[in-house]
Amino acid sequence: MTIVHLRRARTSLVLDARGPGLPRVVHWGADLGPLPDEDLPAVVDATVPPVVPSSFDTPTVLSLLPEASAGWSGRPGLAGHRDGRDWSTAFRLTGLDVYDEPAAPSPALLGGAPLHAPGVNKGPFLSSGRVEVRAADPDAGLSLTVEITLDAAGVLTLRHRLRNDGDGRYEVRELTPVLPVPAVATELLDLTGRWCRERAPQRHPWPMGAWVREGRHGRTGHDATLLLVAGTAGFGFRHGEVWAVHTAWSGDHVTAAERRPTGESTLGGGELLTPGEIVLGPGEEYATPLLYAAHSADGLDGLSDALHTHLRARPSHPRTPRPVTLNVWEAVYFDHDLDRLRALADAAAEVGVERFVLDDGWFRGRRHDQAGLGDWWVDGEVWPDGLQPLIDHVRGHGMQFGLWVEPEMVNPDSDLFRAHPDWVLQAPGRLPPPWRHQQVLDLAHPDAYAYLLERLDAVLSEHDGLAYLKWDHNRDLTEAGHAGRPGVHAQTFAVYRLLDELRARHPDVEIESCSSGGARVDLEILRRTDRVWASDCNDALERLSIQRWTGLLLPPELIGTHIGPERSHTTHRVHDLSFRAVTALFGHHGIEWDITAIDAGERAELAAWVALHKRLRPLLHTGRVVRVDHPDPAVQAHGVVAHDRNHAVYAVSRVATSAAQVPGAVRLPGLDPQRRYRVRPPAGVPEPALLELSPPGWLAWPGDGITVSGSVLGTVGVQLPALHPEQALLLEVTVVG
């Protein structure tokens, strides 16, 4: 039918749709430029694989949906059957629409009306931002729609929609969008983790075979890889060519990289389905989660730049300054006392906090973590006059008020469970193993869903000034059955529907995605929430890595970063306030600490750090994130640079002792090489502790810093003082003249 060339933001996608089958992805990666129509057939023809001995008589075609009928012997794009029949497909192209401008992804993940088709180009060679491909296999009784969007940031999204056009029921076992990656990508990087140590990078050569990351937690998971990255040998934050995918789904999911002996390499991802979970009746449809994909010729920072730009362009992205938040959990735990909390609010206002969040323990029967979940009424014994007196006190300081909830969970020791034990996700005849003394409510049960919607709506409606929900989710979904069948898919959609309905009823209320810390961090939950809690660990040393790699996908303003106590609640490690503050500065800033128990000097220092964050917040929450490829593993450096490159701030942290007495100079990337900049520590906050070999002050730097070109800063760098381990320093960079 035609050849399609999509171009946006230094990225190209070329589809060959000239044959009768599904289109082939000829190229996804670097921008090919404004190719004239007459060159496109040559581009396509130059990439057709040869016929080789001991193989098929015609070239194997890796289409938008890999099929065995086209000779594909790797991981299937579609796996399913109709009572053992129609297990293999041979889709034929029935239509293709190309749109002049990208549109928002289809909101309906399951079913919904087809996309409209204005602005379709009619020529033989099409160049635009969005494509809808339609295909059918009448013999199998199936039709397929593929939605592809390349947006202004260069981020590609891909989704398949499969419809059962046959008479009988069709079970979908797997439907996974994939994209080809060129042979120059020889290394893989992904992330793993656990509670309080999320987003740990792992990297290795890309061997033959499949590298498959499966999440079977019923939520995104602490060990989920936010991005699966393939790249050229030795790629880093600032160099190398890289390709990456993200599976936007908050339930069970799979992300995979595959390299075949036949020469193809692919990245892909989708929903991980339990047998019997998706069975389509006649006329019913299943849609995959969105697969997000990005390419960069400038290393991992280029990926982040594209993804951050994409997220910041969303209509739902936070537009107001992100309030400095104090969450009371590590200050009071379950010990709720109005006078104590009023004093904490007073101290919070004194240091510049803008949002005060009451955590776990406010609702009926909740004096510890073994009871009460599900009984979403204010506990009259603890709060005889309700929450409004505290809310009024907080708002009297000009602060917003927020509240912790965990709606999807229930304690067996609760009135809700005693009345409705059947409202729990479970296999027939038995409850799943307990986890934190709790089970999971079956939100696909209409009565359970209606109960939660009514209770949460009531909590938000009955309290004047409740502006924020910290929405927690503290266990995996194990043996998650609904009505005798697997229930993760239905549960995930029910959670989305619940969040959507609450947002529609209370559009001014912001919601945080918290899930034992960072176990539900994905771009589908973030279509409904305003930030994520990256980890329950506030240890600054651990947080450096957690935030660094969470930021590979998310911009700083979407990542909760709090200053914890001197001694960490989760690791018992002790850190100076300056190290904790520098680490927490680069995100949605906050405090998780009993600041009524600190002395006046420490409170004044804390106030200075909060004030610095507020001053830098316009830069931190809009600028480009840069990370430094420093040769010393004991040195970690990163920063944010304004888009006009007039202003930047960098943090340099010493995470351990070094083999060398003085680490090498640190480059400050992202600046304009032709302009001159003044580099100095920001005023008003203390300097970090230096080794004795460092003279007082900043080595030989004068009091107002140094002035040098962006070229020198990005190429030579600056030699910084020798820091003690677990110390950090800030550098503020401003253009001169």
Spatial distance between the Cα atoms of 457 and 449, rounded to a whole number of angstroms: 12
Q: Which of 359, 472, 539, 576 is catalytic?
A: 472
Instruction: State whether residue 271 is helix, strand or coil.
Output: strand
Continuous segment of H or E residues that includes residue 546: helix 540-550
Our answer to whether residue 508 is catalytic in this structure is no
Which residues is 142 bridged to in the sheet?
A: 137, 164
Continuous segment of H or E residues that includes residue 312: helix 299-312
Spatial distance between the Cα atoms of 732 and 39, rounded to a whole number of angstroms: 48
Place of tokens 């979970």: 277
Which residues is 164 bridged to in the sheet?
A: 142
| Residue 274 exposure: Cα atoms within 13 Å on the Cβ side | 20
Local structure of residue 359 (DSSP, 8 states): -
Spatial distance between the Cα atoms of 680 and 732, rounded to a whole number of angstroms: 6
Query: Is there a contact between 182 and 197 (Cβ–Cβ < 8 Å)?
Result: no
- The pair of three-digit structure tokens given for residue 315, joined into one six-digit string: 């209509």
Instruction: State whether residue 357 is helix, strand or coil.
Output: strand
Continuous segment of H or E residues that includes residue 345: helix 338-351
Query: Is there a contact between 517 and 198 (Cβ–Cβ < 8 Å)?
Result: yes
Place of tokens 């070999």: 693
Label residue 493 exposed, middle or buried (CB < 10 Å: 0-12, 13-18, 19+).
middle
Q: Which of 252, 536, 539, 576 is catalytic?
A: 536
The gap from C-alpha 527 to its chain's centroid, in whole angstroms, comes to 10
Spatial distance between the Cα atoms of 617 and 164, rounded to a whole number of angstroms: 51
DSSP E strands: which ranges in 447-545? 466-471, 481-482, 485-486, 510-513, 531-533
Neighbours of 83 (CB within 10 A): 9
Q: How many residues does the chain have?
A: 737
Query: Is there a contact between 435 and 478 (Cβ–Cβ < 8 Å)?
Result: yes
Continuous segment of H or E residues that includes residue 731: strand 727-735
- C-alpha distances in angstroms, 629 versus 63, 236, 635? 37, 7, 10
The gap from C-alpha 249 to its chain's centroid, in whole angstroms, comes to 10
Our answer to whether residue 536 is catalytic in this structure is yes
| Residue 470 exposure: Cα atoms within 13 Å on the Cβ side | 25
Instruction: State whether residue 614 is helix, strand or coil.
Output: helix
Spatial distance between the Cα atoms of 326 and 347, rounded to a whole number of angstroms: 10
Query: Is there a contact between 720 and 667 (Cβ–Cβ < 8 Å)?
Result: no
The gap from C-alpha 589 to its chain's centroid, in whole angstroms, comes to 18
The two beta strands, 130-137 and 290-296, are unpaired
- C-alpha distances in angstroms, 633 versus 638, 653, 658? 14, 11, 8
Which residues is 231 bridged to in the sheet?
A: 187, 242
| Alpha helices, H only, 397-445 | 415-419
Q: φ and ψ at 402, to 5 degrees?
A: -130, 165
Query: Is there a contact between 212 and 263 (Cβ–Cβ < 8 Å)?
Result: no
Which residues is 85 bridged to in the sheet?
A: 82
Closest CA to 380 of 401, 368, 362, 367: 362
Name residues whose C-beta falls within 8 Å of residue 658's C-beta, 6 or more positions apart in sequence.
632, 634, 635
Q: Which residues are catalytic?
A: 472, 536
